[in-house]
Structure 1
Amino acid sequence: MFSNICEFKEAFLKRLEMTYGKTFPESTLNDQYSTLGHMIREYISTNWIQTNENYRLNNEKQVYYLSIEFLIGRLLRQNLINLGIDKIVQEGLEDLGIKLEDLEEIEADAGLGNGGLGRLAACFLDSLASMDLPGHGCGIRYKHGLFEQKIVKGFQMELPEQWLRHGHVWEVRKPDLAVDVSFWGKVESYEEEGRLKYRHMGGETVIAVPYDLPVVGYETSTVNTLRLWSAEPSSYKAGQDTMRHKRDTEAITEFLYPDDTHDEGKTLRLKQQYFLVSASIRSILRSYLERHGDIHRFHEHIAIHINDTHPVLAIPEFMRILVDELNLNWEDAWGITTNTFAYTNHTTLSEALEKWPVRIFQPLLPRIFMIVEEINERFCKSLWEKYTGDWQKIEQMAIVSHGEIKMAHLAIAGSYSVNGVARIHTEILKTREMNLFYQFYPEKFNSKTNGITHRRWLLKANQSLANLITATIGNRWIKEPHILSSLLSYKNDSALLTQLELIKKQNKERLADIIFQQNGITVDPNSLFDVQVKRLHAYKRQLLNILHILSLYNRIKHDDHFDMQPRTFIFGAKASPGYFYAKKIIKLIHSVGQLVNNDKVVSQKMKVVFLENYRVSLAEDIIPAADLSEQISTASKEASGTGNMKFMMNGAITLGTLDGANIEILEQVGKENIFIFGLSADEVMKYYREGGYYSMEYYHHDQRIKEVVDQLIDGTLPDSGDHFEPIYDSLLAENDQYFVLRDFSSYVSIQKQAGDAFSDKSSWLQMSLQNIAQSGYFSSDRTIREYSDEIWKIRQSILQK
């Protein structure tokens, strides 16, 4: 495309003028961003086409990763870095008086996800392409994403995400590859050539149109594909209410996670999930049959991975097509299916394991329901053969029971691999949540600890630190992240530690500017930046954090001898629109922040900041600036976490419970380089199993706890009214389900320890370097290598030039 700055500038100016019919001085930032984006996408296209052709010619086994979320963030800078042309483009733009950072700000974060589930999927795609592995993503092109969060007087308000307002330069619409997806209607049986067959009659058909995004590998020619499906209305039918059909169709891909507190929302969620899998499976099968023809060898060429339970309907949909359309008998179809699908479980929360009421499922997906029933009947028969007479066990394991379809059970029965996402998570699945299935299918269960792409979360998000690492140990770490461990030999290098301190200070100053611009709050970059940014959920215990802050406020106000390391407490989180308890916690954070920030004495020691609309691009500003990483979920509840890895990689020290991947971070860095507190997973599970925890005892016997809990309802907090009574009741009347009060004292102690450690700069910097050095293990490259070798059985396929 271009090999030097002059070639780039000439091509850029020519393209801009041809596209917009105006001279460069007349162009806007939007014009410039769009021009650059389309130039880069076209530059990618040759390799994109050749990658797919390479897979076809070499008959490579490919994996398709089905996920309801892909939190890809902004792509401009990442694509430039991966293509190796970021410096040419940046310098060329500077010669024209354009800052690349300004063009980055024009790009909206793609509204395709919410939290760790979607970001994990995005990291996996980056690693697949960068490691030259044949793997693609299948998701939904949400028109308005989850929602744009606005904070009004401390309350979360939800607005539609307008990320597609100006289009999306990276996508290619492919209407010629559209497929039909059907809902409702009825199923008729008929006999053909002595065989009972079924056809889906009537109902509603929508068109699934694919939009393909290139997934560019780092310094390689491989370009894989993220295919996103958009719902469009089918052609007009006589007697049809055209406008209603259009509205109902477009609603399928309008928002991520429709509110499912009512039947209408449940139906829409189920529609979304079936839409995703039906379109994806049809597309995968069509491509396979064009290339290979023999459906019986499908699993030798294709692996399909289900990211959590949302895409589990892929299993019965695949069976439907094999049996109804390709005329396979049930046994052959089931054999192919159970050798094709692999499933990742992402939760230990039993309430988060999806279950669909039959009364909603059956009328919406009549043929799929019949297939699920057949799978269930045959599965229960196999259970009966092993556990003859044990009706209770069979009932517990059944896929369909008590008027509900249990999606995790369907996923396990229909997959050849079931993995957890951290070692402790997998053990909990095996010993508790999925113990009966582990006893029945021990060979299916395995553990794959999550990872993050260091090319996004270090090379892109923290370029100064990345440059320092490269100057110190060379650049092999970008392709081989385990080489970061070489930094350990520089632990006592004072010059390196000084540079590390300077980089952190610059990152904190940049974040302080963002905080002032967005919140009007002045924070001290020399203070300890204590950060908790993640999805807001009771088990993640943002409540524990804010109650501790309120306790510190009380100490400063009432104890003249109390002193503390100055801190800036930073929060970022979205609460699900229907999750009213979580929204109360957001309001509580703001009320405590108002109390703290407006007090002349207390605000000298600490500030509380809530950054609204937490998203990938904001995370890239926050994480490099963090000193302390809050990973304080109730032990046994966080499957893995990936935020903990991102903070660690950027030199923040983890303060957390022995939960999820925190345990493996502890093993990597050693107990002297992490702050651990609170109940263990075994202790938590013992309480759940045997009882014995009474939150009232902690309330009555710890004056600090009593004071902060009472302050929720006694008028201490500004603009509180009766907003926090549900939180007060959850802690006392409902016996504190997530052990906030039980862990409070331990949390206060470890927070003091962290503050004291921060005051010893040299020791803190050594801890920081230790975390960076040991973070290579948590690269998604390692995770994907394990998936590809042990689950998918795919191999590297390098595109030869």
Structure 2
Amino acid sequence: MQTAPNPNSTQEIVRIEDDRTGLGIETLKRAFLDNLFYIQGKFPAIATLNDYYMALAYTVRDRLFKRWITTAETYGNQKARTVCYLSAEFLMGPHLGNNLINLGIYEQVKQAIEELGLNFEELLEQEEEPGLGNGGLGRLAACYLDSLATLEIPALGYGIRYEFGIFNQRIQDGWQVEITDKWLRYGNPWEVSRPEWAVEVKFGGHTESFTDEHGAYRVRWIPHKVVNGIPYDTPISGYSVNTCNTLRLWSAEAPETFDFDAFNAGDYSRAVQQKMASETISKVLYPNDNLTQGKILRLEQQFFFVSCSLQDMIRILERQGIPLEQFPEKFSIQLNDTHPSITVVELMRLLMDEHGMEWNKAWGITTRSLAYTNHTLLPEALERWPISLFGQLLPRHLEIIFEINRRFLDDVRLKFPDDWERLGRMSLIDESGERYVRMANLACVGSFAINGVAALHTELLKEGVLRDFYEMYPEKFNNKTNGVTPRRFMVLSNFRLANLISRKIGNNWVKHLEELHKLEDFVDDPDFRREFREIKQAIKQDLAVYIKRTTNIDVNPNSIFDIQSKRIHEYKRQHLNALHIVTLYNRIKANPDIDITPRTFLFGGKAAPGYYMAKLIIKLINSIGDVVNRDPDVRGRLKVVFLENYNVKFAQRVYPAADLSEQISTAGKEASGTGNMKFALNGALTIGTLDGANVEIREEVGAENFFLFGLTADEVYAKKVAGYNPMDYYYSNPELKLVIDRIASGFFSHGDANLFKPIVDNLLYGDPYMLLADYQAYVDCQEQVSQAYQDQDRWTRMSILNVARMGKFSSDRSIRDYCEGIWHVQSVPIKLEEYVQENAGRMIVS
């Protein structure tokens, strides 16, 4: 490796050292080599690829810090109203490339690294992705943090610093195998530990009531266990602004990490037992909760990060000299799904038990501070906890919940007299069998706003799972359709298309995505269509090379890249896609010379470790691929590829390459979706049902540019009420029957007729997600896709119009909606140059 040449003069050395975080090429090279030497402790002859990545990451981080510190001080001085986004998941993706884009230094840094003789792309690829989420929920939270910073909104993201993130997925013999995600094994250059801001979190034990010196009834919680929460801060840069907000993730530690008495007595295991037990809380993302121990740990995790975050907010109030009574004026707290619902109770406990407030005052503060986003229409996904488990872990909180419930049900009785069934449905306690705490009900009662994440989703919430609460509190309900950040999912991951767009309409669209509509002026320009098509083809070629390298499967870049990448779940219906593949395969077997538009079916996604049916669907897809890909009759016209370990890096590679985006969930089951937005933004056409945000995407891009099929949510409901019988479809549709029979026979499982029997039986004797009812409409719609793709000029026009009309689906627009409709917070611009001049040489810690 070549090192940077030494500067030619003393003046040059002084200039570089005075400009330590400058952006000149020579300054960047010097900073990079300094970080390699002084932080990594290496020189080029012995440095590893990871050393070079770390040195580059620290170089970029140094250039963030000026903005980060300035932002924190500005917010503190102005006592700015702040959004606190509480989420159990933050699927941030790699930081390096995104920060280079947002800081506007991508090209300078790339040039500096390449002049040092290093491969810039290799360094980007080296970054370990923080797998701190499962999928859409965590990815949305990351997009929102990006937009909050870009829009210069004071904000803090709060979550858990899981030592091990979501598992790494490997496919072995067609099955998913989970591998530990050791994302911290080489360190994390983007975070800063703040041990001086540690807080204590209590668990278990019992409560004692007493009367204070003023004669007021009070309760003291005597815990069984205390855990320390240590904050780790990550800077979140905004695009083309000086704002740099904070993601604060909490790690669990024992107050005393070593028991010397036990050690001296020879009990070496017990000497570190407390440390191990405490740190388990932040050890792994979402433990399998099929067993009681998993349920306990999951509740511990949720309470842990909520308690840490609320205590941190109170610390900030005290530091800024703001009275606790003004908590709602300082903070607007967004609960990202039901996981942080315990916030309602913990804030009440802190205000009453730790700060001496009476109930009504504390309740007023709580209900003016919290807002709740619901992300599901599946009743089973609305969290609930057994009373026995909840009371064992959080005895004081159970008492407060009972009191909230008593007062709340009195209000329900006043509004709906004698409606005993409604009381049972709305109670915070499910009394129908084993008693449970209903966390979604708690969030609805304790929040001043409740929102869905797509227009259809919000309406279905009002009509379905939250209907009682809508009738009780209609003023609380509103819709905030999800969005995605164009910085990561266009500028960074699809630079060819982003550059083409910017050449035609300027680059203002990166912050104002609605300006993409200007592309419609070029849809009739044959040169623009040609260049647009060539870019897509080049990206597909790149993906084909990646597929060959990682799977040893040859795919045809001229075929339709038909992609379904998302979490594996029955309601998302990856197995409906599989039925279509078998249908095409059966047609080829019946007539090997049939005219079929070549397709490459690409799948990606992880199944929850305890979700057997989802894992079996992965096995089915791979087993179909094993047969289809090697059958000489197919002659390469169909290829099936399951790309393992779907994550943000994976997504950045796949979204730009897609021709067809599969958004085929059962209508009324998907809350919104954000993958559908990312695919369409990158020019993929959508085949989908009228579900989630598909409805709004179709409205925006035009029905003629969207492949629609399937039952509506109302029709799904009507069929269930009427008594849905999947066997009617099986016996009345010979092509469908052949597909099911071929899977059932063991044809795709080496003659083992039992392997896929659970899937076959589920479809024939229940079919809860109505695959058989939608099968024929789906197959017919896929034929329309094939015909449209044969006319490449028409397809390109449709693709361009999809890009041009996706402006609504920026996360910037979503955040503006939240700011105006829920949070009532204003932007606070950060004036960096003024700060640097006024505070040169002064260290500021917030």
One-letter amino acid of the counterpart of residue 250, structure 1: E
Identity of aligned residues (%): 47
Aligned to 1:232: 253
**Unaligned 5+ runs, structure 2:** 1-20, 263-268, 834-846
Aligned to 2:114: 94
> Which secondary structure does the structure 1 equivalent of 2:808 belong to?
helix
Which deviates further from its counterpart, 38-47 or 674-683? Answer: 38-47
Aligned to 1:779: 810
What TM-score do you get using the length of structure 1 for normalisation? 0.98
Task: Give, in whole Å, the separation in 2 of the partners of 1:785 and 1:619.
Answer: 26
Task: Give, in whole Å, the separation in 2 of the partners of 1:760 and 1:636.
Answer: 33
One-letter amino acid of the counterpart of residue 653, structure 1: L
Aligned to 1:351: 380
In the alignment, which of 180, 191, 195 is matched to residue 216 of structure 2?
Answer: 195
> Which secondary structure does the structure 2 equivalent of 1:188 belong to?
strand
Task: Tell me if structure 1 keeps the 8 A contact 2:450–2:477.
Answer: yes
Task: Give, in whole Å, the separation in 1 of the partners of 2:279 and 2:668.
Answer: 39
In the alignment, which of 747, 754, 772 is matched to residue 716 of structure 1?
Answer: 747
Relative to structure 1, the CA distance from residue 259 to residue 20 in structure 2 (aligned partners, 3 Å threshold; closer, same or farther) is closer
Matched, 1:581 2:623: no
Aligned to 2:785: 754
Task: Tell me if structure 1 keeps the 8 A contact 2:64–2:244.
Answer: yes
Q: How does 1:318-397 map to 2 (within 5 A)?
A: 318-397=347-426
1:47 deviation in Å? 1.2
Q: How does 1:329-728 map to 2 (within 5 A)?
A: 329-402=358-431, 403-560=435-592, 562-688=594-720, 690-719=721-750, 721=752, 722-728=754-760
One-letter amino acid of the counterpart of residue 219, structure 2: Y
Relative to structure 1, the CA distance from residue 601 to residue 229 in structure 2 (aligned partners, 3 Å threshold; closer, same or farther) is same
Aligned to 1:59: 79
Task: Give, in whole Å, the separation in 2 of the partners of 1:645 and 1:242.
Answer: 52
Which deviates further from its counterpart, 631-640 or 708-717? Answer: 708-717
1:31 deviation in Å? 1.2
Task: Give, in whole Å, the separation in 2 of the partners of 1:213 and 1:512.
Answer: 35
In the alignment, which of 186, 189, 192 is matched to residue 169 of structure 1?
Answer: 189
One-letter amino acid of the counterpart of residue 366, structure 1: P
Question: For each residue in 1:54-102, what CA deviation from the matched residue of structure 2 results, as whole angstroms up to 9, or x when unmatched?
Answer: 1121221001000010000101011011111111000111111112210
> Which secondary structure does the structure 2 equivalent of 1:338 belong to?
helix
Matched, 1:767 2:798: yes
> Which secondary structure does the structure 2 equivalent of 1:617 belong to?
helix
> Which secondary structure does the structure 1 equivalent of 2:282 belong to?
coil
Task: Tell me if structure 2 keeps the 8 A contact 1:132–1:798.
Answer: yes
Aligned to 1:80: 100
Q: How does 1:91-170 map to 2 (within 5 A)?
A: 91-170=111-190
Relative to structure 1, the CA distance from residue 720 to residue 491 in structure 2 (aligned partners, 3 Å threshold; closer, same or farther) is farther
Task: Give, in whole Å, the separation in 1 of the partners of 2:111 and 2:801.
Answer: 34
1:25 deviation in Å? 4.1
What TM-score do you get using the length of structure 2 for normalisation? 0.93
In the alignment, which of 27, 33, 47 is matched to residue 27 of structure 1?
Answer: 47
Task: Give, in whole Å, the separation in 1 of the partners of 2:574 and 2:368.
Answer: 42
> Which secondary structure does the structure 2 equivalent of 1:40 belong to?
helix
One-letter amino acid of the counterpart of residue 159, structure 2: G
> Which secondary structure does the structure 1 equivalent of 2:251 belong to?
strand
One-letter amino acid of the counterpart of residue 24, structure 2: N
Task: Tell me if structure 1 keeps the 8 A contact 2:572–2:665.
Answer: yes
Which deviates further from its counterpart, 142-151 or 416-425? Answer: 142-151
Question: For each residue in 1:572-599, what CA deviation from the matched residue of structure 2 results, as whole angstroms up to 9, or x when unmatched?
Answer: 0100000001000000001000010011
Aligned to 2:272: 243
1:257 deviation in Å? 1.2
Which deviates further from its counterpart, 49-58 or 790-799? Answer: 49-58
One-letter amino acid of the counterpart of residue 251, structure 1: T
Task: Tell me if structure 2 keeps the 8 A contact 1:422–1:661.
Answer: yes
Question: For each residue in 1:266-288, what CA deviation from the matched residue of structure 2 results, as whole angstroms up to 9, or x when unmatched?
Answer: 11110111011011111111111
Question: For each residue in 1:728-786, what CA deviation from the matched residue of structure 2 results, as whole angstroms up to 9, or x when unmatched?
Answer: 110112x2000000000000000010011011010000000000001111000000000
1:22 deviation in Å? 4.0
Task: Tell me if structure 1 keeps the 8 A contact 2:661–2:676.
Answer: yes
1:15 deviation in Å? 2.9
Task: Give, in whole Å, the separation in 1 of the partners of 2:680 and 2:291.
Answer: 40
Relative to structure 1, the CA distance from residue 22 to residue 57 in structure 2 (aligned partners, 3 Å threshold; closer, same or farther) is closer
> Which secondary structure does the structure 2 equivalent of 1:635 belong to?
coil
Aligned to 1:217: 238
Aligned to 2:7: none
Task: Tell me if structure 2 keeps the 8 A contact 1:596–1:606.
Answer: yes
Which deviates further from its counterpart, 400-409 or 437-446? Answer: 400-409
Task: Tell me if structure 2 keeps the 8 A contact 1:594–1:718.
Answer: no
Task: Tell me if structure 2 keeps the 8 A contact 1:591–1:719.
Answer: no
One-letter amino acid of the counterpart of residue 751, structure 1: Q
Matched, 1:208 2:237: no
One-letter amino acid of the counterpart of residue 411, structure 1: A
Task: Give, in whole Å, the separation in 2 of the partners of 1:365 and 1:109.
Answer: 34
Task: Tell me if structure 2 keeps the 8 A contact 1:591–1:720.
Answer: no
**Unaligned 5+ runs, structure 1:** none
Question: For each residue in 1:686-707, what CA deviation from the matched residue of structure 2 results, as whole angstroms up to 9, or x when unmatched?
Answer: 223x233210011111111111
Task: Give, in whole Å, the separation in 2 of the partners of 1:15 and 1:74.
Answer: 20
Question: For each residue in 1:429-458, what CA deviation from the matched residue of structure 2 results, as whole angstroms up to 9, or x when unmatched?
Answer: 011111111011000000000000001100
One-letter amino acid of the counterpart of residue 136, structure 1: L
Question: For each residue in 1:285-312, what CA deviation from the matched residue of structure 2 results, as whole angstroms up to 9, or x when unmatched?
Answer: 1111221331111101110110000001
Task: Give, in whole Å, the separation in 1 of the partners of 2:317 and 2:324.
Answer: 8
Task: Give, in whole Å, the separation in 1 of the partners of 2:609 and 2:551.
Answer: 23
One-letter amino acid of the counterpart of residue 112, structure 1: L
1:244 deviation in Å? 3.1
1:32 deviation in Å? 1.0
One-letter amino acid of the counterpart of residue 324, structure 2: I
1:21 deviation in Å? 4.3
Task: Give, in whole Å, the separation in 2 of the partners of 1:720 and 1:6.
Answer: 65
Task: Tell me if structure 2 keeps the 8 A contact 1:62–1:301.
Answer: yes
One-letter amino acid of the counterpart of residue 302, structure 1: F
Task: Tell me if structure 2 keeps the 8 A contact 1:212–1:225.
Answer: yes
Task: Give, in whole Å, the separation in 2 of the partners of 1:149 and 1:583.
Answer: 11
Task: Tell me if structure 2 keeps the 8 A contact 1:346–1:421.
Answer: yes
Which deviates further from its counterpart, 782-791 or 236-245? Answer: 236-245
Question: For each residue in 1:476-510, what CA deviation from the matched residue of structure 2 results, as whole angstroms up to 9, or x when unmatched?
Answer: 11121110110011111111111111111111111
Question: For each residue in 1:698-732, what CA deviation from the matched residue of structure 2 results, as whole angstroms up to 9, or x when unmatched?
Answer: 11111111111112221211346322111011011
Task: Give, in whole Å, the separation in 1 of the partners of 2:64 and 2:41.
Answer: 25
1:135 deviation in Å? 1.2
1:241 deviation in Å? 4.0
Aligned to 1:314: 343
Task: Tell me if structure 2 keeps the 8 A contact 1:595–1:718.
Answer: no
Which deviates further from its counterpart, 68-77 or 99-108? Answer: 99-108
> Which secondary structure does the structure 2 equivalent of 1:604 belong to?
coil
Task: Give, in whole Å, the separation in 1 of the partners of 2:778 and 2:366.
Answer: 48
